[in-house]
Structure 1
Amino acid sequence: MQLADVRAAEAADATTISRLLAESIRGSYTEILGEIPTRRLISAQCALPRIRAEIEIPGGAPGWLGWLVATGPDGTLVGAAAGGVPVPGEGELYALAVTPGARRRGIGTALLTAAGERMRAFGATEQRVTLPAEQDPSLPFYAHQGFVPIGVTRLHRAL
């Protein structure tokens, strides 16, 4: 297991987060969803102006807890996650991505744990995530983390 430092994202991280998310979506969903839907998903989720604005929201927005990043031993950004508590008691994970070469080393778990701690600090008693596809390649990861289905592509776990 690789140890990763998890911290709040900074403005200088926006470009790397955007690229990391796009690479992760492209690699995970092109075969499942097809080229056009995958491009749409990347366009919606990975737009640099959007990520930059989300990082720079002063004091956060109602329900938004921000972006977290994980860095490897050399300081390179190897993962990112975003979440919030849009409904009292319900934490929502909006994004979680780890660079392909750093997967299965505890980085996703570290990001998920840090996001959960933030959510719990804002009153969340459960954590939810919506996946883009029924055959989502991240299902085993989330199941291992204690998430259970509450819909075809919606999962949750107690915090």
Structure 2
Amino acid sequence: MLLADVRTAAPGDATAISRLLAEAIRDGYGEALGEIRAARLVSDHCALPRIRAEIEIPGGAPGWLGWLVAAAADGTLVGAVSGGVPVASEGEIYALCVTPGRRREGVGSALLEAATGRMRAHGAASQRITLPVERAAALPFFAHHGFGELTPVRLGRPL
């Protein structure tokens, strides 16, 4: 798959990000979490008003670096990532999702690289992510990118 670009999310991307994230949660964690917990996670993190507000935060909240999206050559969004530097020198990936049919094509890696660049530019010397479950399907992806286990659901790496 050819990516046209990884770019900062625009207000018009909110619906696509919400859908991508909800699909990724259901697909990646639905079985492990169970229907009710997965639905709660989707409700908490994928609500369209929340995504819109996060995209439109003027100048960003302290530590918030926003959403980035990956678009296919035809403009269709195929992935998204959000993150920030909430603690001095520590970057945090809050969400990273790729359309299930587009996984293993470099989309997640491109998004992670772009988010990492932003975090480094804001002083991050390390990076963390918290996964919703132990032994998450995403573990091999993050291990490939140098993340190690800090706790059963929290991973980290130096930058």
TM-score by length of 2: 0.98
Would you say the 8 A contact 1:11–1:55 is kept in 2? yes
CA distance in 1, matches of 2:40, 2:3: 33
Please say if 1:108 is aligned against 2:116. Answer: no
Aligned to 1:126: 126
- Runs of 4 or more consecutive aligned structure 1 residues displaced over 2 Å after TM superposition: 1-4
The one-letter code sitting in structure 2 at the alignment partner of 1:130 is T
Instruction: State yes or no: 1:45 paired with 2:45.
Output: yes
Shift of 1:4: 4.8
Identity of aligned residues (%): 67
Q: Which letter does structure 2 place at the counterpart of 1:68?
A: L
**TM-score (normalised: structure 1):** 0.98
Alignment-mate amino acid for residue 110 of structure 1? A
Q: Which residue of 1 aligns with 2:90?
A: 90
- Answer whether contact 2:3 2:70 (CA < 8 A) is retained: no
SS at match of 2:54: helix
CA distance in 1: counterparts of 2:148 and 2:84, whole angstroms: 19
Give the deviation of 1:2 after TM superposition.
4.0
Deviations 1:46-93 (A, max 9, x none): 010000000000000100000000001111100000000000000000
Unpaired segments ≥5 residues, structure 1 = none
Specify the alignment match of 1:81 in structure 2.
Answer: 81
Deviation, structure 1 residue 135: 1.9
Q: In terms of mean alpha carbon deviation, does 2-11 or 124-133 score higher?
A: 2-11
User: What is the alpha-carbon distance in structure 1 between the residues aligned to residue 15 and residue 33 of structure 2?
Assistant: 25
State the one-letter code of the partner of 1:65: L
**Equivalent residue pairs, number:** 159
Is 1:158–2:158 an aligned residue pair?
Answer: yes
